[in-house]
Amino acid sequence: MNTKMFCFQCEQTAGCASCTGGAGVCGKTADTSNLQDDLTGALIGLARAYDGKLGSEKATRLIIDGLFTTVTNVSFNDKTLNELIAEVEAAKEAAVPGCSGCGSVCGRNDNYDLTKLWDDNEDIRSLKSLILFGLRGMAAYAYHAMVLGYTDEEVNGFFYKALCVIGEDLGMEDLLPVVLEVGEVNLKCMALLDKANTETYGTPVPTTVPMKVEKGPFIVISGHDLYDLKQLLEQTKGKGINIYTHGEMLPAHGYPLLKEYEHLKGNFGTAWQNQQKEFDNLPGAILFTTNCLMPVKSSYADRVFTTEVVSYPELVHIGEDKNFTPVIEKALALGGFAEDQEYTGINGGTELTTGFGHGTVLSVADKVIDAVKAGAIKHFFLVGGCDGAKPGRNYYTDFVSQTPEDTIILTLACGKFRFNDLNIGEIGGLPRIMDMGQCNDAYSAIRVAVALAEAFECGVNDLPLSMVLSWYEQKAVCILLTLLHLGIKNIYLGPSLPAFVSPNVLNFLVENFNISPISTPEEDLKKILG
């Protein structure tokens, strides 16, 4: 096994260039990183076996699982990666029986060596990386929809097509349309997941969420998978165990069906990258359902559990049967706190709000439109994206704090934990900070923007709306590509630009979409508001 790695898919990559040593900044070892490259190469081989067209249900599930597994902070487990690679190889053999043993080489199901991509011309590498990383983010959304029984053949078929494109020898003129197509298909994928969530759990409603942890046994559930939360709530009902969300699970409090569970009490913790400090010796069980797992410290390793594609060596994994008994038993054994514990957000606030999805915002669209026409609302800011520990993240807190009182902040994804405990007032009974949900709920922001543009009979780019986005990993990439597909311009992105975007590709984005790196809150607000 190669003892060195190459990875530049996340924002915290070493030296703002790439992780190339024995381990990545995320804690992933070189062996694990290389296995994830092997898995990706095998997925390309599987897509080739189906000639880049939609394959069997089993193959499609493997492609979505495999791509999701390679998202940052999902899997740190070589054993499960090897098992998944073996499953992919078996699926290829089922698709083209006997092909692997054929003496006539045709490349029908050959795996792709990702070192060819990493060593390619920087512009080609940049465009193919945008496709690959966008696919990984989109796979996460397709996965969550699939768990609820919602799939889309066009979305699923595109995974095969795009994976094959990554393995082909193509020029920039051929790759650029596929980059934007990732954004187009991701919009359909986000719409699918939005439909799956709202039809299953109801349309989110504005909800105030306390950060207090009550005395007694409790479980903290992190990630994005609402299905896992629902199963956990059912299995803990009547057992004297309280449930607290963490990270991107916070928006779950806004769904009517989930709100019915009285033991869904509140939210624990701040930004996901603070988990090693906040989980240290926590007297409760912790369940990770998706990405954002950091290397687990020994002081709390005995109480961390994983499920779905999340995997970490030596932790107890909850399988497809969703029997959370080990999690429940650990919570009861730990006993929780002897007294209620008061916690705060990063800025000292004691409660958070969520549930301002497109259904809620559009239900009061007349009030919003009237407020704009009356001059009470002068500008909208979408301040969202993925959070990280890199210096410069305080930009988003400072930006929101300095926005004028006649502006509205729409926010989503985990980046909001930088400022979502701030109380910056209301406009006409509407809170100035509106949490629209998880990263995939960028769909809500798009729906609202399109509705406002229609109401004012203008284009989205003509609205008094500015997007100030942070990025960390691959879900942010696919959302950015969706915004580009829609022709949305004047996006402020930071705290740094992706390392995998070459100068020529960056120039293309700047010239065609006016993407700007963030500067300072004062300078950017002055530029936006004049």
Selection from 316, 330, 317, 351 nearest residue 217 by Cα: 330
* Confidence class for position 297, pLDDT limits 50, 70, 90: very high
Q: Phi first, then psi: what are they for 288, rounded to 5°?
A: -100, 125
Q: What is the pLDDT of residues 116-140, one digit of tens each?
A: 999 999 999 999 999 999 999 999 9
Q: How confident is the model at residue 239 (pLDDT cuts 50, 70, 90)?
A: very high
Q: How high is the pLDDT of residue 109?
A: 81
Which residues, listed in sequence order, are joined to residue 409 by a DSSP beta bridge?
A: 381, 433
pTM for the model stands at 0.96
Strand partners, 379: 407
Read off the amino acid at residue 263: H
pLDDT score recorded for residue 107:
67
Query: Band of the pLDDT at 285, cuts 50, 70, 90?
Result: very high
Q: How far apart are CA 419 and CA 406, in angstroms?
A: 18
Task: Note whether 72 and 474 are within 8 A (CB).
Answer: yes
Q: Measuring CA to CA, which residue among 415, 481, 448, 457 is closest to residue 188? A: 481
pLDDT at position 2 is 54
Tell me how crowded residue 107 is: count the other CB atoms within 10 A of its CB: 9
User: Which residues have CB under 8 Å from 97's CB, separation 6+?
Assistant: none
Per-residue pLDDT averaged across 517-522, rounded? 95
- Which is nearest to 296 in space by CA: 307, 305, 309? 305
The percent of residues in the chain predicted with pLDDT above 70, rounded, is 98
| Residue found under tokens 């493997």 | 62
CB 386, CB 413: distance < 8 Å? yes
Among candidates 219, 216, 334, 330, which has minimal Cα distance to 266?
219
For residue 392, the model assigns a pLDDT of 82
The Cα–Cα gap between 125 and 362 comes to: 41
Q: Which two tokens stand for residue 322?
A: 């969703």
pLDDT in the model for residue 101:
64
Q: What is the pLDDT of residues 303-350, one digit of tens each?
A: 999 999 999 999 999 999 999 999 999 999 999 999 999 999 999 999
- Model pLDDT for residues 193-210, shown as the tens digit of each residue: 999 999 999 999 999 999
Q: What is the C-alpha to C-alpha distance for residues 19 and 267, in angstroms, rounded to an integer?
A: 33
Sheet holding 433-435, edge to edge: 433-435, 407-411, 379-385, 465-470, 491-494, 516-517
The rounded mean pLDDT for the chain is: 95
List the helix and strand counts (H, then E) for the chain. Answer: 18, 16
Beta strand 426-427 pairing with 430-431: antiparallel
User: 3-state class of 254 per DSSP?
Assistant: helix
Which amino acid is it at 323? N
Using one digit for the tens of pLDDT, what is the confidence trace for 35-73? 999 999 999 999 999 999 999 999 999 999 999 999 999
Span of 148-152, 386-390, 406-410, 466-470 with lowest mean pLDDT: 386-390
pLDDT over 60 (residue 215): yes
Report how far residue 459's alpha carbon sits from residue 456's, in angstroms, rounded to the nearest whole number.
9
Length of the chain: 530
| pLDDT over 90 at 424, yes or no | yes
The whole-angstrom separation of Cα 13 and Cα 168 is: 27
Six token digits for residue 38: 């092997």
> Distance (Å, rounded) from C-alpha 483 to C-alpha 495?
18
Contact predicate 481/130, CB 8 Å: yes
pLDDT band at 390 (very low <50, low <70, confident <90, very high): confident
How is residue 21 annotated by DSSP? S
What is the reported pLDDT for 102?
Answer: 66
pLDDT at residue number 16: 86
- The secondary structure of 465-495 as a DSSP string is EEEEEE--SHHHHHHHHHHHHTT---EEEES
Please report which confidence band the pLDDT of residue 413 belongs to, taking 50, 70 and 90 as the band edges: very high
Q: How far is the C-alpha of 495 from the C-alpha of 505, rounded, in Å?
A: 18
Q: Which residues contact 161 (CB under 8 A, 6 or more apart)?
A: 47, 52, 53
Are the CB atoms for 81 and 483 separated by under 8 Å? no
Q: Can you give the pLDDT at residue 306?
A: 98
The 3-class secondary structure across 342-400, one letter per residue, is CCCCCCCCCEEEECCCHHHHHHCHHHHHHHHHCCCCCEEEEEEECCCCCCCCHHHHHHH
Residue 1 has pLDDT above 60, yes or no: no
Q: Are 315 and 301 in contact (CB under 8 A)?
A: yes
pLDDT in tens, 426-450: 998 899 999 999 999 999 999 999 9
Rounded to a whole number, what is the largest CA-CA distance in the chain?
75
